Amino acid sequence: MLQFIYSQLIRLALPFILLRLWWQGREAPELRVNWQQRVGFVPRASGTVVWVHAVSVGETIAAAPMVRRLLTRNPDITVLMTAMTDTGLTQAMKMFGSQVQYAYAPYDTPGSIRRFLNRVNPRILVIMETEIWPNMIRQSRARGVPVFLINARLSERSAQGYERVKRLVAPIMRSISWVAAQAEKDAERFRRIGVAASKVAVTGSVKFDVDIPEAVRQESLQLKQSLSNRPVWVAGSTHEGEDAQLLAAHKQLLRDQPEALLIIVPRHPERFESVADLVLQNEFSLARRSLGGDFSGAQVYLGDTMGELMMLYGASDVAFVGGSLIQRGGHNPLEPAGWGIPVVSGHHVFNFETIYQRLLDDGGVTMVGNSDELFHHLSALFSNADERQASGQRALSVVNKNKGALDRVVDGIIARV
């Protein structure tokens, strides 16, 4: 009954969701492209289809090493990558080109999911992290399609929320074939909300298996060489409420390091213009990556392109990981750690608690609470090259020490394809 009520409610909401999509498309026309896919009208797929669903950019990046490994292990499969956002699909296309197929994930109405499954006919559904959509999961299992939650994480707050609607959630959890949890805490929470203990394994986080393609390494090296040994720090995946604090720290840093450059990369492309305006309002000289050209005189370099954050991390000396000075929950610190550069973060990292704890345990990350603390740490790092290198190596060693989850996950998927 609860599943029926949920389905009816989302059916009623669908016209308003589509209207909102159309309205947002006034300023972002790409949102209107292929909108039919969102109600299940996707191109037909053939062969053995592995459907990989990653909601947005972060999950898509996390899925990339797994997808590459799957294609290497079994070149005959067809990988279909879906996302809820245009930025997620753009990221996937940039990474894989024609190697995989792409589509928007269907909204979770019974009809949309049915049309999608009829056209794709997947052999297996791989969901990154914790995208729990009742109709997607239940209809897939009803067709005999195994459903895997990969790199699965579940915060205590989310687990308590699911427990409040356990009558709705438990049947969905029982439909999941395998949960590859990041840590024992995550596994325990999944068991609490209805996943059978035999279906939950602690594989670790696939994000530790950082995969930096050679093309990205070369592009990063070229950019770093063009910076002429300037002190460079990058603030990746920033959110509203953080940019002003980062600029305040940079203003202080310029007094100690007049040649310092801040590369700031907003998480969402709709914020590119507002961040550019904020930089100019604070009287910094600004260059924008999207415009190309010379940026040797810039104090702030705005990363206003999609899919280049990993490359920009590699061109920097120190990395600040955004979403952490505000209560957003943080973003993936292993991307800069994989380059062997010092990692700095705010304290609000509940979305990556296990990863951050391992970095903290081995001195691979420094947590700051505000712009003043950030400035003091940056100043210390840029005045001591030995400590800067040691800090980066500590971060990299945490990545190397925790690798291996990817092989365990890929083995589990291949065994069921």
- Would you please indicate which residues are annotated as catalytic (active-site) residues? 59
d(CA 157, CA 396) in angstroms, rounded, equals 30
d(CA 214, CA 303) in angstroms, rounded, equals 21
- Identify the sign of the CA torsion 215, 403, 225, 367: positive
Chain centroid to CA 215: 20
Q: List residues bridging with 103 in a β-sheet.
A: 82
| 93 CB-contact burial (10 Å; exposed 0-12 / middle 13-18 / buried 19+) | middle
- Identify the sign of the CA torsion 265, 97, 64, 169: positive
